[in-house]
A and B are shown apart, each in its own frame.
Chain A
Amino acid sequence: MTKIPASKDPALLQGRRPRLVVIGNGMAGMRTVEELLTRAPGKYDITVFGAEPRVNYNRIMLSPLLSGEKNFDDIVINGQDWYEENGITLQSGDPVVDIDRANKTVTAESGLAVSYDRLLLATGSMPIVIPIAGKDLPGVVTFRDVDDVDVMLKAAESGGRAVVIGGGLLGLEAAVGLQARGMKVTVLHLAGHVMERQLDASAGYLLQQELGRRGIEVITEADTREITGDEHVTGVWLKDGRHLDASLVVMAVGIRPNGWLADRAGLSVERGIVVDDFMTTSDPAVKAVGECVQHRGQCYGLVAPLFEMAKSCADHLAELESDGYPGSVTSTKLKVTGVDVFSAGDFSGGDEVEEIVFRDAGRGIYKRIVLEEGRIKGAVLYGDTADGAWYFQMLKDATDVGELRDTLAFGQAFAGGSVGNPRDAVAALPDDAEICGCNGICKGTIVAAINEQGLSSLDDVRAHTKASASCGSCSGLVENLLAVTLGGEFEADAAKPICPCTDHDHDTVRRLIKAQGLKSMAAVMQALEWKTADGCHSCRPALNYYLLAAWPGDYVDHGASRFINERVHANIQKDGTYSVVPRMWGGLTNPKELRALADVADKFDIPTMKVTGGQRIDLLGVKKEDLPAVWADLNAAGMVSGHAYGKSLRTVKTCVGQEWCRFGTQMSMSMGVELEQMTWGSWMPHKFKMAVSGCPRNCAEATIKDFGVIATEGGWDLHVGGNGGMHVRATELLCKVKTREEVKEYCCAFIQLYREEARYLERTAPWIERVGLKHVQERVVDDADNRAALYVRFLKSQETSQRDPWAERVKESVDAHEFSFLQAAE
């Protein structure tokens, strides 16, 4: 047990806080800082250098970032405010290029030099690039950071084929991600089966077959000779003479501890930077953690051991007694949705060992457990990994499994005699069973945190214990623990699925539609594993909307997935008749229109005519079979559908404004007409209403509309998020603008943001309450570029949507079957 004697600390001698400089703003470095802050807050004056121009994020989540299951904000671990709150100086985008150990300073690329009392190296690894011709061509990338993902996403936009060199964990995650982004993917792998370091040949074979089913080609024993291309990669030559075309080549053949900086500074570096159990290098003032180190001869490439190193390093920096880091046994899981692979320990076999193999070809399950002297030495699970944690625990504890031997392959539920209920299984685990592998957190710690700190949600547990905060594959276990500990009080707070047909929530489905380029209802249901043949009345209209919003002009509307009102463009009433509401732009009408309405009402015996709350005239009691004729007459008078039935733009209510009113400061009627002509026909998550008032007296009641405009002396106040429904809500002020053009641009941008972000059947009021007005302002008001982009996207989708649905049904016989009865054949 070594301890740095405080008396020798130069900083303390000078009466200031000691300076800690951290090189590397990645997972191990920042975890060490976090651990240090909990042990000894304010002890050091901390400066962090990061080569990447961003805050600290969860590198494990690059795969979901690539596939589109997450976006960058979701994977940030510590945002800018964390550095500020903890008084940490972050120099991001500025790599350290030199360490002067004699003078205890580091110098960054920018020339910035900072002195330290303690230095922490956490420089991670460098991806290995095989030294072949063409390796430096544009379009050849590694898979290590956000910049790499950006290159891949850009390449994926234009489709084509990606060749991934390397069929290990990273290569396969890259392959699946790129395939989800719409590329054709071929994986080249040197060994005889994929993930050969984690899987045996049988499990590797099953995995390769599964990848094949998903359309990912794997070529094993493929040795790459050369990458071709002049200005950009065009393909790959194999040593056996085969050539593959490619517009993107990803090299994922392995990593090498990043120790050059340490090496240049004269520290002891072998494969990695050599450290002792307290993470101290050959220089007592310099420590190192993470993938860059070599500890007891081992280098690690997974986060669990790095986090253990971080603890031990933090103990030491905080000058706490500790036993030091003893090294780790690791386990691996592949993070590919729907593919369950687990491996731990040594499963290479041999004479001394005994193996238990379990295969269920029908269900695609393979398990192999390697025993040595009655103890688990390694395990490979494919297809059913639920018991991975259990085997791994027994492996680490070197539990004698002699008595369980016969039923070991059937898993814990069988061995423990308990039923196959996940909650019971969790309840049966001992307190020291590890739940979160990445962070090394065991059941007892989580249960104690839940009880003592009153935690009640997955997010709470993540925030307080870090369990499930890294790769997330133990979230289910943690939720079960919450349920077991809290009993009836617990409700899983995971985003709610759209409906029982799917496990996905609205936001995920929307993201995946875009990310995976899904362009039809059938494609969505297939790719996202819908549980019913063709959905239900809840998910189908939502999907139809999401597809329409994602691919304007491209996606063909699916009538059978629309509610009857939108299918026939009239409102169904309680007696099965319909009501029809033509547009009256901005609430204006004229004698010709009124005469046409009166004539139609006479001709078709329409019993009721009513002025609506949105300044239009409603014709109630129309028989369905009369609808086309009613529309034809209204169309002839120049009137079009008012979408009074749709999740779409409804009305734009106006006051008489400066055109007539003695108080009016701006022309509200013409403003209303222009807004309506610009936005009609646009499908939305829910109905959408607008109003324009000509002065702050607000006679058009613009402050209870989804988008309200109120004229002032100097311009226009723009209001959003009002609702006159069951829960009345007044608008909030979005911003003030000067010109009519601005009113229109902001209006479209706001609508487009709502269209792209709100969930189906969520009106603007609950949407804004959920995301916050600030979120909307940041995107529509503060960010002019984003506003312009939203505006353009809105106008683009309007190009194809401003067609009068009544005219389509009358003149083009769209959905003609709707309006006639079946007849008996003679």
Chain B
Amino acid sequence: MTELLNWVDLGPVDNIPLQGARTYQTETDRIAVFRTVDGEVFALVDRCPHKDGPLAQGIVHGHFVTCPLHNMVFSLETGEAQGAEDGCARKVESRIVDGKVRIGLTSSQMGAINAG
């Protein structure tokens, strides 16, 4: 069963540096929003499945990010760890609409907003 997503507008894509990331705090999780060298935007929950490393602080290369704590590499497209390691960072849906970044949050992530 696919959950209905709530699309949140995070402002112009230019606010996120190329080959970099910024974070957005939801009720339950911090979300890392990445912008890759080719201008695409991806989002993952900002927590490395290895030891909770803040993925948004890593180096972004191609469609990958390297965790700043122990250098595990994750695909931004799927969240999956690359190479021998296994593990998966939680993927968050994202898109660019009219030059603005939108991410799709679940109801629990929206938490307070829905409640309020």
Q: Are B23 and A821 in contact (CB under 8 A)?
A: yes
Q: Does B108 contact A (CB under 8 A)?
A: no
Q: Which of B47-72 contact A (CB under 8 A)?
A: 51-54, 57-62, 64, 66, 68-69, 71
Q: Does B17 contact A (CB under 8 A)?
A: yes
Q: Are B25 and A561 in contact (CB under 8 A)?
A: no
Q: Does A534 contact B (CB under 8 A)?
A: yes
Which of A532, A541, A820, A821 has its CB near the most chain B CB atoms (within 10 A)?
A: A821
Q: Out of A541, A572, A576, A817, name the residue touching B20 (CB < 8 Å).
A: A817
Q: Out of B11, B25, B60, B64, name the residue touching A560 (CB < 8 Å).
A: B60
Q: Does A302 contact B (CB under 8 A)?
A: no
CB 8 Å contact bits of B27-50 with A (1 = contact, 0 = none): 000000100011000000000000
- Which residues of chain B have C-beta atoms less than 8 A from A537's C-beta? 58-59, 61, 66, 71, 73
- Which residues of chain A have C-beta atoms less than 8 A from B23's C-beta? 821-822
* Total of A-B residue pairs, C-beta within 8 Å: 83
Q: Does A574 contact B (CB under 8 A)?
A: yes
CB closest residue in chain B, given A562: B59
How distant is the Cα of A561 from the Cα of B10 in the complex, in angstroms? 25
Q: Are A540 and B11 in contact (CB under 8 A)?
A: no
Q: Does A533 contact B (CB under 8 A)?
A: yes
Interface residue count on the B side (C-beta < 8 Å)? 35
Q: Are B69 and A817 in contact (CB under 8 A)?
A: no
How distant is the Cα of A541 from the Cα of B19 in the complex, in angstroms? 13
CB closest residue in chain B, given A572: B68
Q: Are B59 and A576 in contact (CB under 8 A)?
A: no
Q: Does A823 contact B (CB under 8 A)?
A: yes
How distant is the Cα of A562 from the Cα of B11 in the complex, in angstroms? 26
CB closest residue in chain B, given A577: B54
Q: Out of A540, A563, A574, A576, name the residue touching B61 (CB < 8 Å).
A: A540
Q: Are A574 and B51 in contact (CB under 8 A)?
A: yes
Q: Are A821 and B61 in contact (CB under 8 A)?
A: no
How distant is the Cα of A572 from the Cα of B54 in the complex, in angstroms? 10
Which of B23, B59, B71 has its CB near the most chain A CB atoms (within 10 A)?
A: B59
Q: Are B62 and A824 in contact (CB under 8 A)?
A: no
Q: Out of B38, B51, B61, name the residue touching A536 (CB < 8 Å).
A: B61
Given contacts A560-B20, A572-B68, contact A534 B61 (CB under 8 A): yes
Q: How far is the CB of A282 from chain B (nearest CB, A)?
A: 69
Given contacts A534-B62, A537-B58, A821-B24, contact A576 B10 (CB under 8 A): no
CB closest residue in chain A, given B8: A824
Which of B53, B54, B57, B68 has its CB near the most chain A CB atoms (within 10 A)?
A: B57
Q: Which of A804-824 contact B (CB under 8 A)?
A: 817, 820-824
How distant is the Cα of A562 from the Cα of B17 in the complex, in angstroms? 14
Which residues from chain A sit less than 8 Å from chain B, CB to CB? 532-537, 540-541, 559-564, 572, 574-576, 817, 820-825
13 A-B pairs in the complex with CB atoms less than 8 angstroms apart: A533-B38, A533-B61, A540-B59, A560-B19, A572-B68, A574-B51, A575-B52, A576-B53, A822-B10, A822-B24, A824-B10, A825-B9, A825-B10
A-B contacts besides A532-B62, A821-B23, 12 pairs, CB < 8 Å: A534-B37, A534-B62, A540-B59, A560-B19, A561-B19, A576-B53, A821-B25, A822-B24, A823-B24, A824-B9, A825-B9, A825-B100
